[in-house]
Amino acid sequence: MALITFPDIIKPSALSFGLQGSAQAFQSEFTGSSQYVRLPHARWYGSANWENLTGDDYESLKVFMTQLEGPFNTFAFGDVSKDTPSSGMPATVVVEAKSPANAHTTSLTVGRSSSESTTAISGTQSVFKKGDYFHITSSKGQELKLVTADATLTNTGTSAISFAPALRGAVSTGANLTRHSPRAIMRLASNDQNSWDIAPPILGSFGFSFLESY
């Protein structure tokens, strides 16, 4: 199994992206009432389609799909419509976890990285808008999160970031949050995804479904 680099091509013509929940229901045989438990197994999933690719974009995506060998190999992918966060904070500002976070939690205390000095934050600045994404490395690997509330940051202060889904693994102090082009680690949803439609004069259309790998 290997992580295959997604090719640098145009964004898909259509994208479906969402979260597969992990709740389980338990129903009482005596009263009929239900209780729901959230398990730490929610995962991102979706599908992407490209229409009428030509040249290098066509060949690069064809090679990439073939290298995946169905769900065997993995790749980094996400909601490419939100590669740039809405907060407007410069991409050069490095944001990191300022305290450890346990698995199953939905918040992090973050701040500007003490090891990064190229860009200062002037006053209080928006670091995340609700609906932005980030990814972070936990003890379970790379995890993609959706920010659920606006948050601000100062040059030396910290902020509590709320997100979903809950962490699968623990996060250590100093772990960086990737705010631009955040990605989850995905697999193809099945073995029969590696195909493309060809129309003269060599226009290739691709589509595949994916599911987060962990």
Rounded to whole angstroms, the Cα distance separating 136 from 175 reads 7
Q: Which of 95, 116, 75 minimizes the C-alpha distance to 208?
A: 75
CA angle, residues 120, 150, 113, in degrees to nearest 5: 30
For residue 184 the two structure tokens come to: 């989850």
Rounded to whole angstroms, the Cα distance separating 51 from 14 reads 9
Burial class of 42 by CB neighbour count within 10 A (0 to 12, 13 to 18, 19+): middle
For residue 195 the two structure tokens come to: 């195909």
- Residue ranges per domain, the chain? 14-78+186-212, 81-182
Q: Can you give the pLDDT at residue 203?
A: 76
SS in 3 state form for the chain? CCECCCCCCCCCCEEEEEEECCEEEEECCCCCCEEEEECCCCEEEEEEEEEEECHHHHHHHHHHHHHHCCCCCEEEECCHHHCCCCCCCCCCCCEEECCCECCCCCEEEEEECCCCCCCCCCCCEEEECCCCEEEEEECCEEEEEEECCCEEECCCCEEEEEEECCCCCCECCCCEEECCCCCEEEEECCCCCCCEEEECCCEEEEEEEEEECC
Q: Can you give the pLDDT at residue 88?
A: 84
Q: pLDDT tens digits, residue range 53-109?
A: 888 999 999 999 999 999 999 999 999 999 999 998 888 889 999 999 999 999 999
Q: pLDDT tens digits, residue range 11-54?
A: 999 999 999 887 666 676 677 677 766 666 789 999 999 998 88
Q: What pTM was computed for the model?
A: 0.88
| Torsion-angle region of 76 (φ positive above 0: left; ψ -120 to 50: alpha; else: beta) | beta
Bridge partners (DSSP) of residue 44 are 19
Share of the chain above pLDDT 70, in %: 90
Question: Rounded to an integer, what is the distance from CA 138 to the centroid of its chain?
Answer: 13
